[in-house]
Amino acid sequence: MTSTSASVVGQAPAAPPPPRRTVWRRWGPALPFVGPAFFLLAVWYVYPTIATVIRSLQSNAGGKFVWFDNYKQIFTDDILLTAIKNNAIWVAIVPAAVTAFGLMFAVLTERVGWSIAFKFAVFAPLAISLFAAGVIWRATMYQKDPSVGSINHVIGVIRDTFTESGVLTRANPSTKDVTGSTNQGFTLDKDLKAGDVALLGLTAIPPDEIPETAKQAEDPQAKQGGITGVVWRDFKPGGGKPGEVESEESGIPGVTVDLLDANGKKVQSTSTEANGTFTFAELGTSAYRVRVDKNTFAAPYGGVEWLGPKLITPAMIIAYIWTAAGFAMVVIAAGLAAIPRDVLEAARTDGASELQVFRRVTVPLLAPVLSVVFITQVIGVLKIFDIVLAIAPGSTRNDATVIAFEMWRKSFSGQNQFGVGAALAVFLFVLVIPVLILNIRRFRRENVGA
Amino acid sequence: MMRHRSVLFALLTAFLLVAASACGGGDEGGGGGGTGTTASNVSGSVTILADWTGPEGESFKAVLDGFKQKYPNVDAKYRPSTDIAQDLSTAVEGGNPPDLAAVPNPGLTADYQKRGALKPIDFAKSTVDDNFSEDWVNLGTIDGKLYGVFFKGANKSTVWYNVHSFQDAGVDAPSTWDDLTQAAQTIKASGVPAWSFGASDGWTLTDLFENLYARQAGADKYRQLTTHDIPWTDASVKETLQTMADVFKDGDNIAGGIDGALQTDFPTSVSNVFAAQPKAAMIAEGDFVPGVVAGQTPAKPQTDYDFFDFPEIGDTGKIVVGGGNEVIMFKDSPAAQALVQYLASPEAGEIWAKRGGFSSPNKNVGEDAYTDELTKRSATALANADNFLFDMSDLSPAAFGSDAEFSILQDFFKNQDVDGTAQKLEAAAAKAYK
Amino acid sequence: MTAAAAEAQASPAVRKESFASRAGRFAAKTPVHIFLIIVGLLWLVPTFGLFMISIFDPALSATEGWWQVFSDPSTATLENYRAMFQNDAIVHAIYITAIVTAGATALPVIIAALAGYAFAWIDFPGRDVLFIVMIGLLALPIQMALIPIFRLYNTLNLYDTIIGLILFHTAFAMPFSIFLLRNFFVGIPKELMEAARIDGASELRIFFRLILPLGLPAVASLAIFQVLFVWNDLLVGLTLAQDNQPIAATISLQLRQFGSNLDVIAPAAFFSLVIPLSIFLAFQRYFVQGLLAGSVK
């Protein structure tokens, strides 16, 4: 009764168009199979789609028809153009990446006996709702602060094992005659001769960074033939007098102080005592300057700004691939399981290598399944929303935005611009069709002859 | 045969459903109920939608229990929501709004009133006049009719600080803005940044703008700017933007620096101040900060955290910028009217005030209703302000005050470009206030 | 007996050979093993982090990383879970979610299998066009469908009903399910079906006795995804239900308005993992079962 149709994404039979009566009857065998599905689709899908199209032609408040005004807004709004650009990036990268990961994992785990544990690990993210997954990545992985964000924490730990730690992390000079920064060191802008005294006061030092060995800072005693000075935390509650060593102000021990000659070259170095004082002895009559060496300061690791405007899209893409690869793996693994073993064995006994078997036999046989994964991902990525909502902080929303997110913003976040939101939904829909046809054609071509 | 009939039947049903739903849709508002019914005569059901979830939701349910005791024949249902703008949009657009809703932005109220979705609550006018100051009554009035009454208020003119950090730096709670900037420098020298900003939540920046602007430009200009009667490129706006730029320029004095603060959300910005190892000494935000502190840090009131009123600038008097939840009505009925009257009475506010975490704009809710010292101070400041100004961004059309203004101020936070920002704000406002 | 004797004679040779070749294959596979172990561990990190956060002191989760639990075990606590379970609303929600999930998994599987088979093997007019249009429907964002359906449900009194939720999820599963199953069924060798038809079986019989069992890996995958999606659904439950909300919606209403809320989200998310993952473990052997191996005579 049924015609012998090809086993690919159908080829219509070459017969001339049949008369009406026969067409109706040809629906007969299919009806009990597709009937319930079509009913569900008609009510829950087609009706809302039509309602949305109609809504997109109406004003935001409803009731009036403004025809294509809402659509015009899509192409003139900067933010929406960014959204379209971002979606293009997602579509270009993600479906291919997800399918590739899934294929790789499915194939590799097929050969390994204990694959269930690995599959579990890759699959678990799927079981977490997309929104919760986004929250987890944002709150625990991507935070800039290395004490909270896992990725930056690991980078920081690695970095710390290679760099030396300094006494302090930050400081500012307390008086105008001390200049510089933590990157260059702090220099006292005063020419000093033997017998002079140097005061190097620093502020903005958290009290818990002062080494435990520190003692109350002391005014340095002038020494004949040498230069003495003190490096201390020039702050007491209320501020105190900058530039003067007062009670409740502690010296900073272990600071490297450089002695610079008239050309700025370092001639000597020494380290401060527990009370912050230091001494350079037996100096001649030339003029010198003193400087707190920059190695005193080890800036704490700032952390990569994953959630900043530059990296936010890659950050979201990584989190999404983390959740979606499991989906691809499961579907492709099922497809692999359905391939008859003897076909593969036959190819192997014919002398083909593993790679050739994979490329020439497995992949073409998997083509229908791969197309499901790929196309579903393309559509899913065009619609991507939950991840953007969960991961992008308010300040980078405009950089991270995608079409579905703008649609939500316009319709549901209180702006009540339902007309524009509906137009965006229709726009998304229209975008999908050509992508769809393109991809189905591609898979159909690869599958011919299977 | 059989199959054909089943298909026809399915198609027919589908079409009927489509037709029925297309005709349905419209919001049937019932006729206005009579007023002055006695409590036990009123029956029916009323649903109120609000964004009080978690522990706040429990407190509001206690308020509804008080209502049920007074009106035993009314079934009052509470519908919590995590995104009230979204849920209301869907419900109104879908043709089935709740009877009442408590919305945090009057701008939203104005939107719905324009669309004809709201019913006025003039039946409660005398109760409202008796219990609220003129400022609050005016806020709920549109085109001469009363549409909303404010049940819960928020005092946003508070600055919360870490007591120990202030002690270490040796500074006292400042009372003028100049004192505050000086204190900020002293705090910075003591080794901890003075400011914590949750700039990823743009509304924290609008709050700062509004507190400064109200004090620098005065209440009249504030109101004019709210209705967009003066442009955002006005010199007074630029003056305030400049003051903000002066704070933002000193990135070392902000927890996380400018870039870090831009990724910090509001709850984290609170933790930054009150964690065991504080990353900043103070945060200029409203009286809802203690709720976050209690949930996320070990800090205790007064010993670890305290607040001072947002400092004065010039001599514009005691100004309080604040917010509130406005109860508005979508569907009229005797039960809904009864609940509105109840929520407008001091009784309702007192129930929640006793549980903590609540400020009532109702001037008849006595000081003694508040069990917590800090809440008492902030709540009484709110209800008794000489000049109460509602949060400007909450009064503006949502496209501006809940969206464009945020992103423009976030950019400003980063680049501190006063003129450019003023122009962008004006352009966005012009579009939204049409 | 002859056969058994022959087998006994053959087995020592077979055993020796397979051991040698197995050892050879294992050595070649070691890089694969290592690769999989590393990737697997890395992949687990965020999930592991989720678990650690769920037992982490809520007062600290905003400012400290969850690895602090290792350096300072006193920060671990079960308080987050206790708070979650003490809530009556949650128990009711779990019950609702279970029913909705079961219904919204069984129903789509059957309906989509029927339709998928038709698209694969029954030639009916307009099949190709309908197929593409149907996949295209996947593009409809669920938010846009919610409002018209919300309106529809109010008219039909389906609002806040379990059947309403089930039907919505079933309908929305259709495009993907039919797509997946159709592409699976397309790979079934035509000869099998021809043979059955020659034997006189009707279309429906072929479907139930031949196609469905062969398509079990696909059906199993579909079932697990549907379970996941419906179980974790938030938006539909929030919009189309009120007193009968499923678990994700109920938990979302526990979130404090201001707060990092990690202490509510993390235990809930981790607990929600358990059910779908258990189903995955139970079903997973269907993914690897080579059902077609040896079936072609």
At B307 the pLDDT is 95
Cα C215 to Cα C188: distance, rounded to the nearest angstrom = 8
pLDDT, one tens digit per residue, over C226-270 is: 888 898 888 888 888 888 888 888 877 777 666 667 777 788 888
At A23 the pLDDT is 57
Flag whether pLDDT at B28 surpasses 70: no
Cα B377 to Cα B370: distance, rounded to the nearest angstrom = 9
Here the CATH number for the domain that contains residue A291 is: 2.60.40
- Residue A54 counted as domain residue: no
Q: ipTM score here?
A: 0.77
| Residue in A closest to C131 by C-alpha | A9
Tokens (6 digits) for B236: 């007074």
CB contact under 8 A, B260 and A47: no
The Cα of B267 is separated from the nearest Cα of chain C by a number of Å equal to 5
Walk along chain A (450 residues) and give the pLDDT tens digit of each residue: 333 333 334 444 555 555 555 555 667 777 888 889 999 999 998 999 898 889 889 887 777 888 888 888 888 888 888 999 999 999 999 999 999 999 998 888 877 766 778 888 888 888 887 878 888 888 888 888 888 888 888 888 888 887 777 788 888 898 898 998 888 889 999 888 888 899 999 998 888 888 888 999 988 888 888 899 999 999 988 888 888 889 889 999 989 999 998 888 888 899 999 999 999 988 888 889 999 988 888 777 778 888 888 899 999 999 999 999 988 998 888 888 777 778 878 888 887 777 778 888 888 888 888 888 998 899 889 888 888 988 888 888 889 999 988 888 887 776 778 888 888 888 888 888 787 777 777 766 655 433
| Residue in B closest to A51 by C-alpha | B22
A200 φ/ψ angles, rounded to the nearest 5 degrees: -115, 95
CB contact under 8 A, A41 and C125: no
Mean pLDDT within B340-364: 91
Q: Which residues of B touch A397 (CB under 8 A)?
A: 407
Q: Which long-range contacts (CB under 8 A, 24 or more apart) does B67-73 make?
A: B67/B338, B67/B339, B67/B342, B67/B343, B67/B348, B70/B39, B70/B342, B71/B39, B71/B40, B71/B42, B71/B335, B71/B338, B71/B342, B72/B39, B72/B40, B73/B40, B73/B41, B73/B42, B73/B43, B73/B44
At B210 the pLDDT is 96
Q: Is B298 helix (H, G, I), strand (E, B) or coil?
A: coil
Domains B39-155+323-392 and B168-320+409-432 alike in fold: yes
Mean pLDDT within B74-98: 87
Cα A106 to Cα B157: distance, rounded to the nearest angstrom = 59
Tokens (6 digits) for A49: 């789609």
CB contact under 8 A, B267 and C156: no
Q: Is B168-320+409-432 a CATH 3.40.80.10 domain?
A: no
The total of other beta-carbon atoms located within 10 Å of residue B351's CB is 18
Flag whether pLDDT at B187 surpasses 80: yes
At B336 the pLDDT is 95
Cα C147 to Cα C154: distance, rounded to the nearest angstrom = 11
At C225 the pLDDT is 86
| Residue in B closest to A419 by C-alpha | B93
The Cα of A154 is separated from the nearest Cα of chain B by a number of Å equal to 18
The total of other beta-carbon atoms located within 10 Å of residue B422's CB is 21
Flag whether pLDDT at C10 surpasses 50: no
Q: Give the CATH H-level superfamily of domain B39-155+323-392.
A: Periplasmic binding protein-like II (3.40.190.10)
Range of A117's domain? 60-144+307-447
Counting beta carbons within 10 angstroms of the beta carbon of residue A208, is it exposed (0 to 12), middle (13 to 18) or buried (19 or more)?
exposed
Q: Are C190 and A7 in contact (CB under 8 A)?
A: yes
The more confidently predicted of residues A207 and B195 is B195
Q: Which residues of B touch A203 (CB under 8 A)?
A: 188-191
CATH fold, domain C87-288, is: MetI-like fold (1.10.3720)
Alpha carbons within 13 A on the beta-carbon side of A300: 12
Predicted TM-score (pTM) of the model is 0.79
The Cα of C152 is separated from the nearest Cα of chain B by a number of Å equal to 5
Cα C230 to Cα C166: distance, rounded to the nearest angstrom = 9
At A165 the pLDDT is 73
CA distances from B314 to A364, B328, B386 (A): 78, 37, 16
| Residue in A closest to B171 by C-alpha | A238
Longest pairwise C-alpha distance within chain B: 93
At C205 the pLDDT is 80
> Closest partner residue to C242 among B25, B79, B94, by Cβ?
B79
Cα B295 to Cα C56: distance, rounded to the nearest angstrom = 14
At B306 the pLDDT is 95
- Residue A302 counted as domain residue: no
Rg (CA), chain A: 35
Tokens (6 digits) for B258: 């400018």
Which of B81, B83, B89 to substitute to test the interface with A, most A CBs within 10 Å? B89
pLDDT band with cut points at 50, 70 and 90 for residue C294: very low
The Cα of A396 is separated from the nearest Cα of chain C by a number of Å equal to 19
Tally A–B CB contacts below 8 A.
137
At C11 the pLDDT is 43
Q: Are C292 and A338 in contact (CB under 8 A)?
A: yes
pLDDT, one tens digit per residue, over C139-189 is: 777 877 888 898 889 888 888 899 999 999 999 999 989 988 988 888 788
Flag whether pLDDT at B20 surpasses 60: no
pLDDT band with cut points at 50, 70 and 90 for residue B3: very low
Q: Which of residues 6-65 of C touch A (CB under 8 A)?
A: 29, 32-33, 35-37, 39-41, 43-47, 49-50, 53, 61-65
The Cα of A192 is separated from the nearest Cα of chain B by a number of Å equal to 27
Range with lowest mean pLDDT among A130-134, B280-284, B319-323: A130-134
| Residue in A closest to B165 by C-alpha | A237
Residues in chain A: 450
Of B220, A32, B153, A383, nearest in space to C145 by CA? A383
Here the CATH number for the domain that contains residue A81 is: 1.10.3720.10
CB contact under 8 A, A236 and B18: no
Range with lowest mean pLDDT among B5-14, B102-111, B253-262: B5-14
CB contact under 8 A, C63 and B20: no
What is the DSSP code string of B206-241? HHHHHHHHHHHH-HHHHHHHHTTSS-TTSHHHHHHH
- Residue A289 counted as domain residue: yes
Q: Which residues of B touch C261 (CB under 8 A)?
A: 267
At C12 the pLDDT is 44
CB contact under 8 A, A62 and B115: yes
Tally B–C CB contacts below 8 A.
99
The total number of structural domains that make up chain A? 2
At A443 the pLDDT is 66
pLDDT band with cut points at 50, 70 and 90 for residue B258: very high
> What is the distance, to the nearest Å, from the Cα of residue A138 to the centroid of all Cα atoms in its chain?
9
* Boundaries of every domain in chain B: 39-155+323-392, 168-320+409-432
Flag whether pLDDT at B186 surpasses 70: yes
- Listed in sequence order, the residues at least 6 apart from A426 whose beta carbon sits closer than 8 Å to its beta carbon are A52, A53, A56
Flag whether pLDDT at B23 surpasses 70: no
The Cα of B212 is separated from the nearest Cα of chain C by a number of Å equal to 24
CB contact under 8 A, C63 and B52: no
Tokens (6 digits) for C97: 């979610």
Cα A426 to Cα A407: distance, rounded to the nearest angstrom = 10
pLDDT, one tens digit per residue, over C48-70 is: 888 888 888 777 766 677 787 77
The total of other beta-carbon atoms located within 10 Å of residue A296's CB is 22
- Listed in sequence order, the residues at least 6 apart from A15 whose beta carbon sits closer than 8 Å to its beta carbon are none
pLDDT, one tens digit per residue, over B133-160 is: 888 999 999 999 999 999 999 999 999 9
Cα C158 to Cα A95: distance, rounded to the nearest angstrom = 37
Alpha carbons within 13 A on the beta-carbon side of B243: 21
pLDDT band with cut points at 50, 70 and 90 for residue B285: very high
C135 touching chain A per CB within 8 A = yes
At C28 the pLDDT is 62
Q: Are A12 and C104 in contact (CB under 8 A)?
A: no
Tokens (6 digits) for B381: 């400041």
At A278 the pLDDT is 92
Flag whether pLDDT at C279 surpasses 50: yes
pLDDT, one tens digit per residue, over C193-217 is: 888 888 887 777 877 887 878 788 8
CA distances from A157 to A160, A162, A175, A300, C64 (A): 5, 9, 35, 11, 15
pLDDT band with cut points at 50, 70 and 90 for residue B8: very low
Q: Which residues of C touch A144 (CB under 8 A)?
A: none
> Closest partner residue to A139 among C36, C141, C262, by Cβ?
C262
The more confidently predicted of residues B110 and C74 is B110
Q: Which residues of C touch B94 (CB under 8 A)?
A: 146-147, 150-151, 154
Kindly give the interhelix angle for A403-412 and A78-111, rounded to the nearest 10 degrees.
130
Q: Are A58 and A68 in contact (CB under 8 A)?
A: no
pLDDT band with cut points at 50, 70 and 90 for residue B61: very high
Range with lowest mean pLDDT among A276-285, B6-15, B182-191, C29-38: B6-15
The total of other beta-carbon atoms located within 10 Å of residue B257's CB is 14
Rg (CA), chain C: 25
pLDDT band with cut points at 50, 70 and 90 for residue C23: low
Q: Which residues of C touch A112 (CB under 8 A)?
A: 29, 32-33, 36
Question: Where a domain ends, among A272, A296, A320?
Answer: A296
